[in-house]
Amino acid sequence: MVQEAAAAGRHAYFFSQGYIPLVTPIVGEPALEVGMVGSEGLLGTQLVLGAAPTPLCAFVQGAGLAWRISAAVFRRELCPGKRLTAGLDRVVQITMVQPASSAACPRFNPIGPRLARGLLMTQGRMHADSLVDVMH
């Protein structure tokens, strides 16, 4: 487990390979995946927003490489007008939109298209040439 729900984020992670599902725990039920982070984003968007705890859990599912930076150092680098901050604002927006899309998918799509969406998202984050490569 890289991140526990309701725990203060101690690090931000930037992935160059692999992916991490974002799941929300539900009491008495299996956790629900609400997003996925790969090389397009970061784990620790709550740090960009200045909010330490997050309601989501994160664990490595697609092994790969990541850079880790402590929350304190990361926050010091976030200043208005910096290119880093502007880029991370866009990452946060994408991270916020993704759960809405994931939530709507089961409502309007049968299992086949939902499976295809999940496989394609995984393939993209694993930088795999084929789905066979994703499964290995």
Residue 128 is predicted with a pLDDT of 77
88-91 contacts, C-beta under 8 A, 24 or more apart: 88/42, 88/45, 88/48, 89/48, 91/40, 91/41, 91/42, 91/45, 91/48
Residue 67 is predicted with a pLDDT of 93
Residue 73 is predicted with a pLDDT of 93
Predicted structure pTM score: 0.75
As averages over each run of 10 residues, the pLDDT of the chain (136 residues) reads 74 89 89 85 88 82 88 88 85 80 73 80 78 64
Residue 68 is predicted with a pLDDT of 94
